[in-house]
Structure 1
Amino acid sequence: MTTTLGVVFLPFLPPEQLREAAQAAEAAGLEELWLWEDCFRESGIAAAAAALAWTTRLRVGIGVLPVPLRNVALTAMELATLARMFPDRLLAGVGHGVQDWMQQVGGRVASPLTLLREQTTALRALLEGQTLQTAGRYVHLDDVALDWPPAFPPPLLLGAVGPKTLSLSGELADGTILTGATTPEQVASARETIDAARREAAVSRRHTVTVYLPAATGPDAGDRLARELTEWGMGTDSGIGVAGNAAAIAAAAQRYVLAGADTIVFQPTRDEPDLAGFMGVIARDVRALMP
C-alpha cells in the first residue's frame, strides 16, 4: 500500500498565512495538510474549514482536538458539518490535550483516559447518526442526535503516546496519531500495542498510524533542525527528525514506514523560510523516492 505524505501548517504561523499554504500544498500535489489546535494559538475547526474551502482536492487533518476543551455534542456538530460540506476530505483527530494547558482553562480532569474513552465513544456514535442517552463520569447526553449526520463519517483518529492511550486508540479509533518526538522503534512498539488491543476487542476495521516527522531541507537545514529540536526539549542525538536533501528525507520516512507507519506528516521548522518550497520537495521529490 502506498504511504500517504502530508505536511503540518504549524500554529506558530499567523492564521492569515493559511490560505497561501493550503493552496500551495494543493498546487504541489501534496496529499494531506495537517493542523494543530494548540493552546492558545489557532482553532482546529476554523482553520480546517478555511483550508477545505480554499482547496478542491487536498485532505485536511486536525491533529488533535483536545477533548477537555470541548463538549462532545459540539465537536460532533462541527465535524459533521465539515464532513457533509467536504466529503472524504476531512481527517478528525482527538486527544487528551496538554494537561498544563487544560489546567489553565479549568478543563483538567482526574482521569483523562476515562474522558477520552467517553468522548470518543459518544463522538463516533453521534457521527454515525445514533441517538444517545449517556450518563458517564464526564459525558452526559440526554436524547441527543445530530440532525445532519454525515453519510460517510470522517475517519476518527486518536492522538496517543502512552500504552493505555495507544490501547484505547486500537480499540475505538480508525487510526492513531503519534507525535514528532517518536522514533521508528517507538512506532513499532506503538503498532504492537495498538494491534494487541484490536485483537482483544475483536476489531476488524482498518487502523492507520500517522506520525509527525520533523524535517528540514536547504543549505541551513541542519542548523534549523537542531534549533527546533532544542526548542522542543530534544537533543540532536535523539534520533528524531531529518535534515538534508530529498533522498535523506525519503530514507528517514521509509524507516518509519518499515516500523509500521501508514502516513508520514512532515513537520517543518518554525523558521522554515519557504513553506511552499518545502511542500514541493515533499510532494514531488520525496514522493518520487518512496518505494
Structure 2
Amino acid sequence: MTALGVVFRPQLPPERLRAVARAAEAAGLEELWLWEDCFLESGIASAAAVLAWTERLRVGIGLLPVPLRNVALTAMETATLDRMFPGRLALGVGHGVQSWMGQVGARAESPLTLLREYLDALRALLRGEEVTTEGRYVRLDAVALDWPPRTPPAVLAGVTGPRSLRLSGEAADGTILTADTPPDGVRRARRLADEGRAAAGRTGRHRVVVYLHTATGPDADARLAAELERGPVPPEEAFGVAGDAKAVAEAVRRLAEAGADTVVLQPTADEPDIEGLVRFAAEEVRPLVP
C-alpha cells in the first residue's frame, strides 16, 4: 500500500507545528515530514517535538544536510529519538543546498564523496558497530554508540543526479525525490537506484519517497501556478496537482504506479490552512489511494 504524508514546510513559524502535528494525529494521517532548510528550522528539534506530541504518527526528516552535521552527532540524535519513539522516525540525509553550505563555511569540494562516506559511517553506527575510518571528509576513531537503536532505522538519501541516485541505491536504504519529479522521473530514479543496489550486491526493496506539489481550495490553481513559477525547473516540466480529493488521489496513484512507496503532499509556501490540508489528505485523499 502506498503511504501518504504531508510536509510541514519551514516557511511556517515553528510555533505552528504543534497544532499541525495534533491535527495529523487526530485525522489519522500516516506520516508528517519536516525539512531542515537553512536558516529556518532544525529537523531534529522539530522531529523530537512532533514525536513527543503524538502517539502514532510517523515522522520523516527529509532531509539533514550532511556538510552541516558531524556524522557522530547525527547518529547520536537519531539513536536517541529512535529509542524513545521506536519505529516512528524516518531519516533522510543529503548534499544540502551548496550555496547555503558555502554561507556557513561547510561546502565540500566533492559532495558525492562526502555523502558516500557519511552514509557508510552513519548506517554502521546505527547498527551498533564501532567505527574507525579516515576518509576524505568523515574521520572517526573507535566511535560507537552506547545506546544504539534496538532496530536500526532506515536511512534515506535525498538526491537528484544520476551518480547520486546510484549511490543512494548502493549505500542508503531509500531515496527521497523532490516535488518537481514527474512519474517518468520516479521510474528513472528507481532504475538508477536499483542499478546501484545491484552493483553493491544488495537485495530487498529500496524505499522511494517523493514529494508532490499540492493545492486545494478555491484558489488552488493560482497558488500552484505561482509555486511552480518560482521553482527550479520550468513550470511545464514540473509535476503538481490542484483540485479536489479525486484529482490529488489520481496524481498520487500516478507516482505510486511509477514506483513511489510514499507520496508526501507538499503545500504551497502560502498555504492558508495547513491543518485543513492535513485533514484533507487523511480523510478525503487517503480513502481514494490504494
TM range (shorter): over 0.9
For residues 108-127 of structure 1, the aligned pairs below 5 Å read: 108-127=107-126
Distance in 2 (alpha carbons) for counterparts of 1:50 and 1:249: 29
Q: Does 1:142 align with 2:141?
A: yes
Shift of 1:235: 4.3
Aligned to 1:271: 270
Aligned to 2:239: 240
Unpaired stretches in structure 1, ≥5 consecutive residues: none
Aligned to 1:211: 210
Distance in 1 (alpha carbons) for counterparts of 2:96 and 2:118: 13
- TM-score by length of structure 1 reads 0.98
Aligned to 1:167: 166
User: SS at 1:153's partner residue?
Assistant: coil
Distance in 2 (alpha carbons) for counterparts of 1:30 and 1:12: 21
Shift of 1:238: 2.5
Aligned to 2:49: 50
Aligned to 2:92: 93
Aligned to 2:285: 286
User: SS at 2:237's partner residue?
Assistant: coil
Q: 2:82–2:89: 8 Å Cα contact kept in structure 1? A: yes
User: SS at 1:237's partner residue?
Assistant: helix
For residues 17-36 of structure 1, the aligned pairs below 5 Å read: 17-36=16-35
Aligned to 2:182: 183
Q: 2:38–2:100: 8 Å Cα contact kept in structure 1? A: yes
Amino acid at match of 1:190: A
Deviations along 1:44-100, whole A, 9 cap, x unmatched?
000000000000000000000000001100000000000000000000000000001
Q: 1:6–1:264: 8 Å Cα contact kept in structure 2? A: yes
Aligned to 2:223: 224
Distance in 1 (alpha carbons) for counterparts of 2:235 and 2:218: 18
Distance in 2 (alpha carbons) for counterparts of 1:130 and 1:206: 23
Shift of 1:181: 1.1
Distance in 1 (alpha carbons) for counterparts of 2:200 and 2:182: 27
Shift of 1:236: 4.0
Distance in 2 (alpha carbons) for counterparts of 1:247 and 1:190: 26
- RMSD between aligned residues: 0.9
Amino acid at match of 2:261: D
Distance in 1 (alpha carbons) for counterparts of 2:231 and 2:194: 29
Q: 2:180–2:238: 8 Å Cα contact kept in structure 1? A: no
Unpaired stretches in structure 2, ≥5 consecutive residues: none
Amino acid at match of 2:262: T
Q: 1:22–1:54: 8 Å Cα contact kept in structure 2? A: yes
Total equivalences in the alignment: 290
Shift of 1:284: 1.6
Aligned to 1:153: 152
Shift of 1:242: 0.3
Q: 1:210–1:264: 8 Å Cα contact kept in structure 2? A: yes
Q: 1:174–1:205: 8 Å Cα contact kept in structure 2? A: no
Distance in 1 (alpha carbons) for counterparts of 2:67 and 2:233: 27
Shift of 1:239: 4.3
Amino acid at match of 1:269: T
Deviations along 1:134-169, whole A, 9 cap, x unmatched?
111111111110010010121110001001110111
Distance in 1 (alpha carbons) for counterparts of 2:178 and 2:87: 24
Q: 2:228–2:238: 8 Å Cα contact kept in structure 1? A: no
User: SS at 2:96's partner residue?
Assistant: coil
